[in-house]
Amino acid sequence: MAYKNILVHVDESKNASATLQAACDIALKSDAHVTGVYVIPHVNTPIYVEASVPASILEGLEKAGQDAADKAEELFNKTMESAGVKYEWYAPRGYVDEHINRLGRFADLIVIGQGGSVEDPRASYTVENNILMGSARPVLVVPYIGYKNTIGNHIMVAWNDTKEATRAVNDAMPMLERASTVDVVSIIDDKTEDDVPSADITLYLARHGVKAEASSAVKKGLSTSDMLLNRAADHGVDLIVMGAYGHSRLRELVLGGATYNLLRHMTVPILMSH
């Protein structure tokens, strides 16, 4: 099944243009409709100080939020029209993750930018987490450094035989079916493990018309995320497909994990499913 409804979050970060272009690139391949969303933040004023805040200041904050939304809409419309993509626009007020998760229920794919390029990277990371965990949809995260010319021409599937990885493979099927090359890679702890633990999933992909090569790599003092990113760079990968949070999210936040580290250090777009 092709992606027919793509939801893209537009923010004020420097990589907003790259995020929009990624949504366009994917939409053009499947004649998809793109919905753009900019969430105007609430002006939260504690009750105990509300009476002392001049109305002019509150009005100024409200206007700043609307001005930012208008600027985001202008960028969105210009990008969509230039690409010739069907589109619509929403600018609700509230919390980003709540609106993206709600609207995402009616999308086949959610496209967001990587956190780290906005003023509060911690808040941005919270948004990424909440969308990954609460949207029930595949999420394509675009690096804040942008991406090169293509997305999904050379795909690397990070396979670890979990339900999250399985869901990610199925969610990415529209892109896997169009890819020129697909590498299914398993990062293993010990060379005595199954030589090619990704062989079963490549057989599954073959029955969907996807020709994929299976391989494994033994950890050599590097984290799983570092090995995946190094391999992506060495092989010219332009999209990583993987499951998100195979361990508990708390464990990853405290101890680190593949999802946590890749979200922080990603260099190519990543499609994740939980």
Number of folded domains that form the chain: 2
Which of these three, 113, 142, 171, is where a domain ends?
Answer: 142
111 and 88 in a common domain: yes
> Which of 116, 142, 168 is where one domain is finished?
142
pTM over 0.75: yes
Do 64 and 116 belong together in one domain?
yes
Please state, as a whole number, how many other Cβ atoms lie within 10 Å of the Cβ of residue 183: 21
Residue 28 is encoded by which pair of tokens? 């053009």
Name the DSSP class of 50. Answer: H
Residue at a domain's end among 121, 142, 163: 142
The pLDDT of residue 122 is: 44
pLDDT of residue 254: 41
pLDDT at 54: 66
Q: Average pLDDT across each block of 10 residues of the chain; the chain has 274 residues. List them in order.
A: 94 92 96 97 63 66 88 97 97 94 96 70 66 92 92 96 94 97 90 66 95 89 90 96 72 59 91 94
CATH code (residue 228): 3.40.50.620
Cα angle 208-164-117, degrees, rounded to a multiple of 5: 110
Query: Which amino acid is residue 149, in one-letter code?
Result: N
**Do the domain assignments include residue 117?**
yes
d(CA 261, CA 102): 27
- Please give the pLDDT value at position 217: 85
Measured in whole angstroms, how far is the alpha carbon of residue 114 from the centre of its chain?
7
